[in-house]
Amino acid sequence: MNDEINYRNNPLHGVRLKKLLIEMVDHYGFEILFAYLNINCFKTNPSIDSSVKFLKKTDWAREKIEAFYLYKFKNLPRASSEQFSLPPRDRIIPEDQSSGEPAELSLEDAERLREKREAKSAEWNQGKRHRPNKDINPWANRKSKAKY
């Protein structure tokens, strides 16, 4: 019984990936989807069928597009931290929340977001070194002794 209630509170329940993609492409177009999501299937020879094929095979990309559908296209309020940790198809929307009109998106806003993400990433990389220095890597200058 609880599962039935949960499925009714999930906007993705019963929505096939192809239908979801058609709705968003009709509203935003491939160019906006690529600008916001940075998934190449929306840039290189984009089509609904090739995008669906790629998204079905690639979990991270499918979850990214489904989250975009929920929070930009359906304009739902941000998920709680508990719900955010779940894949979009498993998230439950509180009964007092409902979808709204699709968010107004532009290429200029997408560029601003990209620049903001890059700045944040650069700032994080300066504060914390997460990659080993090439000069310290003991494997960097090793030559293979295998003879062919």
Residue 68 C-beta-side C-alpha neighbours within 13 Å = 23
Q: Per-residue pLDDT tens, the chain, 148 aa: give them.
A: 444 445 667 788 889 999 999 999 999 999 999 999 999 999 999 999 999 999 999 999 999 999 999 999 999 988 888 888 999 988 888 888 888 899 999 999 999 998 998 898 888 888 765 555 555 555 555 454 444 3
Query: CATH fold of 2-104, please?
Result: 1.10.720
Instruction: Measure the CA–CA gap between 59 and 80, rounded to whole angstroms.
Output: 21
pTM of the complete model: 0.76
**What is the rounded distance in angstroms from the CA atom of residue 15 to the CA atom of residue 5?**
17
The pLDDT, as a whole number, for residue 127 is 76
